[in-house]
Amino acid sequence: MTIVKHELRLNRVAFWIWSGVLAFLLAVCVFLYPEMKGEMDQMGDLFASMGSFTEAFGMDKLNFGTLIGYYAVECGNTLGLGGAFFAALTAAAALCGEERNKTAEFLLTHPVSRTRIAAEKLISVLLRMVAMNLVVFAVSAASVAAIGEEIPWKELCLLHLAHCLMTLEIAGICFGLSAFLRGGSAAVGLGVAVLFYVMNLFANITEKLSFLKYLSPFAYCDGGSIVADGKLDWPKVAIGLGIAAAAVIAAFWYYPRKDIH
């Protein structure tokens, strides 16, 4: 586990910045809730009457008057996009970052198989994703308690579980791409995250493109459905994790064969 430890140590600053900022933003949202509560009913009417815009952001199924309704939208915006970007940037740089930073010649000339390097790097990426989600979840739950509201455990857990799965899926896909890239991993990673986000928006707006919901992990993070159904959309989760697993397998197949320049 030398490489896992080394990776966690090397990336600890980026991890704490991303986790801290996302947790802080969600905490701010929660602390704003008591103030917004009174105005929420009118705001809810407003949000509900924005036509396809409302649907695009999944606000048609939510009750803004409740804490969890409000939180589901904020969580989707902040942790959804922020988490996706963190996952994409982290995983896309995992393998090819060594080549870009010219440290590959150091790491890959030690007696460690490429498969083990890929495995330890993947473990380190996944650990950071889970840890980031746990930090954000803990701060959010504590913030809800701090404003004196009852913590809606079930919905809160489901929302954060969905977002955790999404970051794992995006991390898996970008990790797969990382094996094939040589440089420019940040652009590719962010591109993947934005593509999935836009795919979900389009899928929400028009029926014709609704099949995109099965491809974008943002679909199973839709706070409205999770709160309304009281469960995750497991078939979509399974498809997403399947795609991620395929990308990871491709990385493990290709990386040991890759020419390192």
Partner 1 sequence: MEAIKTVGLTKYYGKARGVENLDLTVEQGEFFGFIGPNGAGKSTTIRTLLGLIAPSSGSASVLGMDVTKDRTAILRETGYLPSEAVFYGGMRVREVLKLSADLRGRDCAAEAARLCERLQLDPTAKVGALSYGNRKKVGIVCALQACPKLLILDEPTGGLDPLMQREFFNILRERNEAGTTVFLSSHVLSEVQRNCARAAVIRAGRVVACDSVEALASAGAKRVTVHGAVDLSGLEGVRDRKDVGEAVSFLYSGGMEALLKTLAAGQVTDLNISEPDLEELFLHFYEGGAEQ
Binding site for partner 1 (CB under 8 A): 2-3, 6, 10, 101-114, 257, 259-261
Q: In the complex, what is the shortest distance from the CB of residue 261 to partner 1, in angstroms, rounded to a whole number?
A: 8
User: Least distance to partner 1 from the beta carbon of 120, Å?
Assistant: 11
* Minimum gap (Å) between residue 68 Cβ and partner 1: 41
Select 10 or 17, whichever has its Cβ closest to partner 1: 10
**Residue 130 CB, nearest approach to partner 1 (Å):** 24
Nearer to partner 1, 32 or 112 (CB): 112
Shortest CB 238 distance to partner 1, Å:
36
Compute, in degrees rounded to 10, the torsion defined by CA atoms 154, 212, 169, 13.
Answer: -90
Tell me the C-alpha to C-alpha distance, in Å, between residue 140 and each of 12, 14, 223: 21, 20, 15
Nearer Cβ to partner 1, position 52 or 101?
101
Cβ-based nearer residue to partner 1, 39 or 105: 105
Cβ neighbours for 221, distance < 8 A, ≥ 6 positions apart:
76, 80, 159, 162, 163, 166
Closer of 12 and 154 to partner 1 (Cβ): 12
Q: Which of 104, 53, 58, 95 is nearest to 221 (CA)?
A: 58
Residue (of 87, 108, 106, 109) closest to 255 by Cα position: 108
Of 187, 170, 12, which is closest to residue 83 (Cα–Cα)? Answer: 170
